[in-house]
């Protein structure tokens, strides 16, 4: 009887196994293998293009630097509320995915921060765990076979059942390289062991299929499994694995470089590699001069226009986009008249002539050139004898708000933003050349000490500098990477990768109120942001960071940058500033913060320590006002990723000291300095508490201070002009209503 019962149990087990194999074979044969949709994660995701990025959405192209070409299908892209898909032509010109790609996928059973914690995936506050032997999520660079630093989180801004798992690079992916993403041995907060999707099991378990589309990818997956095995990741442990290729530097930068080279050649400077200012200045006109607008600080404010080659059609006014020639380079469409706004400090108009250092200034989010005359910039200019000039950062200036609203309603219009950003970079390069050319601003009486040509020029044209804050600190990174005329830049409250920055910013609420009703599918949001970044990379530092400092682009000098990070920043997340610091090769002062100010966190992980002063490389400095020196950390959120954060600023004395030590140009975040402003901001500044109405997993940790800030006089907080101001919000609301 005992033997019969054993045989019966064995037969039942065999029958059950046979049924499972049959079911698996059946599912493999019935996979949704439409050419436009990836199927390895199915069933379980309602989004056609998840996981993303994925080389499934590319094709071979031996003419591209990476050997591949983006091959999106329009019917696969997300739709807006009017059922309009995103037009794919602008994307299909690319040769790979963003170096800052947020890897997104839907994992049924992983829906909350608790699930991610139960997975034991690498958290944002302990990045060194990416190399842990049993890490459940790994990314392998196939060119080296080594793991890539990442962190993993859940999209906690949506309903749990719609939440994507998000995998962020802790340092930007290398251009042109191919990466393999692998998830293994997944377990959620309910202690459930998650089974691999049926589509992926077809390849992992080598299950038969009659589908040609399935079978033609088998060799590719075998190569993936072999690479993972070499990296110590067993095939049988896999929940899911796939690969993607990162776009080349040429893909992200060649349009801007082509515009720059062609534009400067029209000035008579056809050799930007030699570092010599040759040819003539851009044509300019002074339209308004105001004497002593701020007595004791600013002697003269000068406004005007200058002429720039235009590379947008039908014009460089808002809404213009690029037309490319057969080589993929922008075609010139006449010229464009840009604006400038300059401040000349009293210090430059007294004493020896030609003393003032010329510096470009980059303004805040959807602002304008007029921010150059704000209080912080006035005091900076007077204290350090700097003439600062700004132009509207078109593409993301106040004049672009109607185009932005249109793009948020239908992302097929998004090139109107990103193409104009690239024109905006050229505008700033031309303004800088006018500031230092012998036939430029110094030939106009407004830029002479007493406002007449009888006295010396105020400009010392031997060197040009850059200083930008918030959006100016962000966009300044891309500008620095392509600048032939300045080699030192101060980037105030900087970061990169707008697709990550905006959803984590308190300023994004205004944009979300337009974007989310028009793209209501919450599961598709990470995909939408990732797609936007593919175009953004050509106009913001995410596509330029690896070439910003010591590995310059062709015909471009090496650069030094000072990343002036505001700790506890609710507008420009520190985490992406840290990614930028690692990517550009910056070093940092240690300790970054006082011990205990940010507990349970690897602060500025893998950013080298400055080895002494003076320091002549690129540096990252984290500061905050000393009024937070005694604030208690909120331990509940001390290590949580931030989706929304409050901006704080280093003290002026601390900033000046860091700049002097690093031998970089003085900078100034747009921080209020008057006692009235300080008093007002003390009532609104963050104290380490969670943001009301926002998931704890997205809240900021407690603020902290750097040693320099703690020893300085009381400083200032929320920066002027770096957030979306009232006028900007009104403009967005007006355009949205229209």
- What order do you get walking across the sheet with 587-588 strand by strand? 284-294, 298-309, 335-345, 386-390, 357-362, 464-469, 486-492, 560-566, 619-623, 587-588
pLDDT for the residue numbered 498: 96
pLDDT for the residue numbered 16: 40
The pLDDT of residue 651 is above 90:
no
Predicted confidence band of residue 644 (pLDDT cuts 50, 70, 90)? very low
Q: Which residues contact 460 (CB under 8 A, 6 or more apart)?
A: 354, 355, 356, 357, 358
**Contact status, residue 135 vs residue 129, Cβ threshold 8 Å:** yes
pLDDT for the residue numbered 624: 67
The pLDDT of residue 703 is above 70:
no
Least confident stretch, 149-158, 453-462, 493-502, 697-706: 697-706
pLDDT for the residue numbered 18: 35
Least confident stretch, 80-84, 425-429, 599-603: 599-603
The pLDDT tens digits for 181-224 are: 999 999 999 999 999 999 999 999 999 999 998 999 999 999 99
pLDDT for the residue numbered 33: 53
Q: Which of 114, 50, 61 is nearest to 245 (CA)?
A: 61
Please give the biggest Cα pair distance in the chain.
118
The pLDDT of residue 87 is above 50:
yes
Q: Rounded to an integer, what is the distance from CA 360 to the centroid of its chain?
A: 21
Q: What's the rounded mean pLDDT across residues 573-602?
A: 92
The pLDDT tens digits for 280-298 are: 999 999 999 999 999 999 9
Task: Tell me the domain boundaries of the chain.
Answer: 31-60+97-169+178-245, 257-737
Residue whose structure tokens are 């993403």: 181
- CA pair distance 331, 325, nearest whole angstrom: 6
The pLDDT of residue 15 is above 80:
no
pLDDT for the residue numbered 3: 41
Q: Which residues contact 706 (CB under 8 A, 6 or more apart)?
A: 567, 589, 591, 592, 593, 594, 621, 622, 623, 624, 650, 654
pLDDT for the residue numbered 43: 75
pLDDT for the residue numbered 626: 42
- CA pair distance 280, 517, nearest whole angstrom: 50
The pLDDT of residue 11 is above 70:
no
| Average pLDDT over all residues of the chain | 84
pLDDT for the residue numbered 606: 96
b/e sequence 335-370, b meaning 16+ C-beta within 10 Å:
bbebbbbbbbbbbbbeeebebbbbbbbbbbbbbbbb
The pLDDT of residue 724 is above 70:
no
pLDDT for the residue numbered 44: 67
- CA pair distance 292, 732, nearest whole angstrom: 34
Predicted confidence band of residue 597 (pLDDT cuts 50, 70, 90)? confident
Q: What's the rounded mean pLDDT across residues 512-519?
A: 96
pLDDT for the residue numbered 19: 35
Q: What's the rounded mean pLDDT across residues 522-542?
A: 97
Instruction: Name the residue with higher pLDDT: 601 or 446.
Output: 446
Residue whose structure tokens are 């400095």: 621
pLDDT for the residue numbered 600: 84
- CA pair distance 724, 367, nearest whole angstrom: 8
The pLDDT tens digits for 247-263 are: 999 999 999 999 999 99
Least confident stretch, 289-303, 489-503, 617-631: 617-631
Strand residue runs (E) in 353-463: 357-362, 386-390
Predicted confidence band of residue 713 (pLDDT cuts 50, 70, 90)? very low
Instruction: Name the residue with higher pLDDT: 684 or 84.
Output: 84
Least confident stretch, 32-46, 213-227, 430-444: 32-46
The pLDDT of residue 686 is above 50:
no
Q: Which two tokens stand for residue 656?
A: 């000046």
pLDDT for the residue numbered 114: 97
The pLDDT tens digits for 324-370 are: 999 999 999 999 999 999 999 999 999 899 999 999 999 999 999 99
Q: What's the rounded mean pLDDT across residues 118-141?
A: 97
pLDDT for the residue numbered 603: 87
Instruction: Name the residue with higher pLDDT: 604 or 702.
Output: 604
Least confident stretch, 26-35, 42-51, 247-256: 26-35
The pLDDT tens digits for 659-669 are: 333 333 333 33
**Contact status, residue 570 vs residue 645, Cβ threshold 8 Å:** yes
């Amino acid at each position: 009887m005992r033997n019969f019962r054993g045989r019966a149990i064995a037969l039942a087990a065999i029958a059950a196994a046979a049924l499972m194999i049959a079911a698996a074979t059946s599912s493999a044969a019935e996979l949704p293998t439409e050419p436009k949709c990836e199927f390895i994660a199915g069933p379980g995701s309602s989004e056609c293009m998840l996981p993303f990025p994925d080389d499934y959405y590319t094709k071979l192209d031996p003419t591209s630097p990476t050997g591949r070409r983006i091959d999106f299908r329009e019917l696969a892209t997300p739709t807006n509320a009017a059922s309009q898909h995103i037009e794919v032509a602008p994307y299909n010109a690319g040769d790979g995915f963003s170096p800052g790609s947020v890897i997104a996928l839907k994992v049924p059973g992983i829906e909350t921060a608790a699930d991610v914690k139960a997975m034991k995936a690498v958290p944002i506050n302990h990045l060194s765990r990416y190399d842990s032997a049993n890490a459940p999520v790994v990314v392998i660079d196939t060119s080296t076979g080594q793991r890539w630093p990442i962190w993993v989180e859940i999209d906690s801004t949506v309903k749990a059942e719609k939440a994507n798992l998000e995998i962020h690079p802790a340092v930007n992916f290398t251009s042109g390289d191919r990466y393999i993403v692998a998830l293994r041995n997944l377990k959620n907060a309910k202690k459930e062991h998650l089974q691999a999707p049926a589509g992926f099991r077809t390849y992992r378990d080598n299950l038969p299929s009659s589908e040609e589309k399935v079978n033609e990818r088998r060799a590719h997956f075998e190569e993936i499994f072999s690479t993972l095995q070499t990296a110590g990741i067993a095939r049988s442990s896999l929940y899911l694995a796939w690969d993607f290729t990162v776009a080349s530097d040429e893909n992200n930068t060649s349009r801007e470089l082509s515009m720059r080279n062609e534009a400067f050649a029209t000035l008579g400077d056809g050799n930007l590699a030699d570092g010599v200012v040759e040819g003539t200045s851009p044509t300019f006109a002074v339209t308004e001069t105001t004497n002593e607008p701020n007595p004791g600080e600013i002697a003269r404010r000068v406004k005007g226009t200058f002429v720039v080659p235009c590379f947008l059609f039908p014009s460089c006014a808002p809404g213009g986009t690029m037309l490319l020639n057969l080589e993929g380079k922008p075609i010139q469409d006449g010229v464009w008249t840009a604006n400038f706004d300059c401040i000349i400090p009293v210090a430059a108009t007294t004493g020896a002539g030609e003393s003032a250092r010329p510096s470009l200034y980059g303004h805040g989010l959807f602002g304008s050139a007029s921010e150059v005359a704000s209080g912080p910039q006035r005091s900076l200019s007077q204290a350090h004898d700097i003439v600062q000039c700004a132009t509207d950062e078109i593409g993301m200036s106040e004049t672009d708000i109607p185009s932005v609203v249109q793009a948020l309603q239908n992302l097929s219009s998004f090139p109107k933003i990103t193409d104009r950003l690239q024109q905006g970079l050229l505008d700033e390069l031309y303004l800088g050349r006018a500031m230092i050319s012998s036939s430029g601003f110094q030939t106009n009486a407004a830029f002479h000490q007493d406002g007449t040509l009888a006295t010396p020029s105020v400009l010392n044209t031997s060197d040009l500098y850059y200083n930008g804050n918030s959006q100016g600190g962000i966009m300044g990174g891309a500008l620095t990477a392509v600048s032939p005329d300045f080699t030192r830049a101060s980037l105030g409250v900087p970061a990169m990768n707008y697709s990550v920055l905006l959803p984590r910013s308190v300023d994004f609420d205004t944009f979300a109120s337009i974007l989310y009703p028009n793209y209501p599918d919450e599961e598709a949001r990470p995909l939408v942001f990732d797609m936007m970044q593919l175009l953004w990379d050509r106009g913001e530092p995410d596509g330029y960071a690896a070439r910003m400092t010591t590995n310059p682009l062709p015909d471009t000098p090496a650069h030094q940058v000072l990343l002036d990070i505001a700790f506890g920043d609710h507008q420009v997340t520190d985490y992406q500033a840290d990614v930028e610091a690692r990517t550009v090769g910056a070093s940092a002062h240690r300790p970054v913060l006082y011990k205990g100010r940010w507990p349970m966190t690897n602060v500025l992980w893998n950013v080298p320590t400055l080895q002494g002063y003076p320091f002549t490389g690129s540096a990252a400095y984290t500061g905050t006002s000393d009024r937070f020196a005694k604030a208690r950390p909120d331990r509940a959120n001390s290590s949580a990723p931030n989706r929304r954060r409050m901006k704080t600023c280093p003290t002026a004395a601390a900033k000046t000291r860091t700049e002097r030590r690093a031998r970089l140009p003085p900078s100034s975040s747009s921080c209020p300095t008057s006692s009235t402003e300080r008093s007002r901001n003390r009532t609104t500044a963050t104290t380490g508490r969670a943001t009301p109405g926002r998931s704890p997993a997205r809240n900021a940790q407690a603020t902290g201070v750097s040693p320099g800030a703690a020893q300085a006089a009381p400083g200032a907080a929320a920066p002027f002009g770096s957030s979306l101001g009232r006028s900007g919000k009104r403009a967005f609301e007006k355009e949205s209503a229209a």
